[in-house]
Amino acid sequence: MLRRLCIIFFLLLPPAALAQQPPSLPPLVSKSWLLLDVSANQLIASDNPHERVEPASLTKLMTAYVVFEQLRDKKLALDQEVTVSPKAWKTGGSKMFIEPQKRVSIDELIHGMIVVSGNDASVALAEQVAGSEEAFAQLMNQEAKRLGMADSNFTNASGLPDPKHYTSAYDLALVALALIRDFPQYYPLYSIKEFRYNNIAQPNRNRLLWLDPNVDGLKTGYTENAGYCLIASAKRGERRMLTVILGAPSESIRSQEGQTLLNFGFQMFDTVRVQEKDKPLSTVRVWKGKSNEVRAGLASDLLVAIPRGTNDRIKADFISAQPLVAPVPRGQRVGTMKLSYDNRPLGEYPVVALDEIPVAGFFGRMWDTMRLWVK
């Protein structure tokens, strides 16, 4: 038995529509890109988001994620010192300029990997965590699978070219979101503009850190095959946007297109709280309980990204689970809220009991048993 309650909320275009290039967004030349409203966890616009590409130094987001997990699990410590191997020292590309057989702290290596994109620092961290870069890559792939990164395979910690080393804009957004969500204590590292080690000062290559005061991360990358790549995130007020740019033809264009997408998200969309956590959405009939109904709502805030100036096209249908028989613990799923826009499916969200309903006495249970039999 289903009971429906229709509620009018704010406008949210379906994910499929938002994932297409909006008419007002200027054309972009990068190979693939996307724009994500982090606060709403919603894709606003994209082009070729699942195309497998060479990630270059954007690989280091996954390297950092695995290292941060090791720190969280106390398998590493920031003040721990490691000895630099000849392999780490010889690694080509961008460098932190660590020296062989000299000790360097985990904290310094993390700064060198994140701020100045040191390939040598990435290899040194991988060797300390897993014994070898090859073994570390296995950890990277395990975490990628757990995070839902279906378009990715990693063979190294630095992002140096390898035919079997690839990812996608969508997958890079997943790991960037995981970094922001799971390790907020380390996220400020991505906004550091310069790092000095061994008397050598190097700037962060993310130009947007200087051009936009709201940008606070994350990473750039470049190889000849990958082109110029960027993952950038910005926060304005309580709202956060994230963009991924892959395969831009120049350093300046990757910055321009990253800024264009961030501005588009902030200026053309609002992030709206559709339903508050623990706020009653409806009530659900309860059978054989001390109370014959329970308040129903969402276990977490529901935020959506909405185009500005539109607020009347979204509908929510609440479908309760029936028959709902006591006992009903707080947090038990008691129904589903289905969002739609112009009669197109938008999303489904679990509705849970906001109260605990214990079992009724003997006569109450018998009475409801008879009523259920009749129904």
Pairing state between β 4-8 and 314-320: antiparallel
Per the listing, tokens 């499929």 go with 16
Is the separation of the CB atoms in 315 and 345 below 8 Å? no
Of the candidates 30, 39, 94, 117, the residue annotated as catalytic is 117
Cis peptide bond upstream of 15, omega within 30: no
pLDDT value at residue 302: 86
DSSP three-state, residue 255: helix
Residue 285's pLDDT band, with cuts at 50, 70 and 90, is confident
Burial class (CB in 10 A: 0-12, 13-18, 19+), 163: exposed
C-alpha dihedral sign at 80, 81, 83, 89: positive
Q: What is the mean pLDDT of residues 266-283?
A: 88
pLDDT value at residue 270: 85
> pLDDT tens, 120-142?
999 999 999 999 999 999 999 99
Catalytic site residue 315? no
Of the candidates 57, 122, 158, 168, the residue annotated as catalytic is 57
Q: What angle do CA 322, 326, 329 make, to 5 degrees?
A: 100
Q: What is the mean pLDDT of residues 348-361?
A: 87
* 299: amino acid identity, one letter: A
Which residue segments constitute the domains of the chain, with CATH numbers given?
Answer: 4-13+276-374 (2.60.410.10), 31-265 (3.40.710.10)
Catalytic site residue 57? yes
Task: Please state the φ and ψ torsions of residue 264, each to the nearest 5 degrees.
Answer: -60, -45
List of residues 6+ apart from 89 with CB closer than 8 A? 98, 99, 100, 120
Residue count (the chain): 375
CA distances from 125 to 67, 137, 186 (A): 8, 12, 16
pLDDT value at residue 141: 98
Partners of 236 in beta bridges: 239
DSSP three-state, residue 127: helix
> pLDDT tens, 61-84?
999 999 999 999 999 999 999 999
% of the chain residues with pLDDT over 70: 89
Instruction: Find which of 3-7, 19-23, 249-253 is predicted with most confidence, using mean pLDDT.
Output: 249-253
Catalytic site residue 255? no
pTM of the model: 0.85
Of the candidates 60, 95, 219, 288, the residue annotated as catalytic is 60
What's the mean pLDDT when you consider all of the chain? 88
